[in-house]
Amino acid sequence: MNLLKQRFRDQQPVIAVNVGGRNTDVMAALASAGAHAAFIDCERTGIGLDVATDLIRAAKVVGLTSLVRSWSKDPAVLVQFLDRQVDGLVVPHINCAQDAVDAVELVRYACGDKAPEKIVIVQIETREAIENLDDIMAVPGVDAYLIGPNDLAYSLMGQRSARTPEVLAAVDGIAKRLKAAGKPFGLPSKLDDLPDFVASGASLLYYPIEWLLTSALKDLTARLDALKPPINRA
């Protein structure tokens, strides 16, 4: 069994780092630093099929699981990533059970005997998905669920990234329902939010590489400042 699938089944932490762009050279560093998956984002970045293929192959070389988030849930689009041997799909805008069924069935169609090794993650990011969540959770073959707070905010409030009480309550409600059903799930979570992330029962940590760089550079700057010799004003 794919080791990442096993981590999901055991609800062990999974760190998926969004590599951000055509950053093939970063794969080895992510693997050695302890990331579990390279999140190849074809929805919110300029990555296309050719670049995604290079990133999938680079991840494979260093033993890092590759996950592609497609720009579309259209099976004709998703199958292209499976044909290029991606380890798993993150399928956006899953609004109903049939959307999830279509994603799972596509993997079976495209991968044959290797289908059980592939990972299927569905995104929950619309009002419609919340209304149909019980039916979506009942679809077999889904490995994990990724809550999308930004798109959910747009669906609920008409503004991406809004953090209104309604949006926060919706995210919390989704998390509670997934946890109660024993489903592995996750969402973006910055370092300061990790206690809430763990308390919610989430195990899939989605972390953009720019957040890693920001944290590392802030730490580096603080360390350098602490080592500066005092200014002699005499």
Tens of pLDDT, residue by residue, the chain (234 residues)? 588 999 999 999 999 999 998 989 999 999 999 999 999 999 988 899 999 999 999 999 999 999 999 999 999 999 999 999 999 999 999 999 999 999 999 999 999 999 999 999 999 999 999 999 999 999 999 999 999 988 888 888 877 777 888 989 999 999 999 999 999 999 999 999 999 999 999 999 999 999 999 999 999 999 999 998 776 665
Query: Letter for the amino acid at 206?
Result: Y
Phi and psi of 59, rounded to 5°? Answer: -65, -40
What are the boundaries of each domain within the chain?
3-209
Verdict on whether the full-model pTM lies above 0.85: yes
**C-alpha to C-alpha distance for 27 and 5, rounded to whole angstroms:** 20
The tokens 């991968």 sit on which residue?
111
Fold of 3-209: TIM Barrel (3.20.20)
194 contacts: CB under 8 Å, gap ≥ 6: none
**H/E stretch holding 77:** helix 75-83
DSSP structural state of residue 101? H
Residue 184 structure tokens? 């592995």
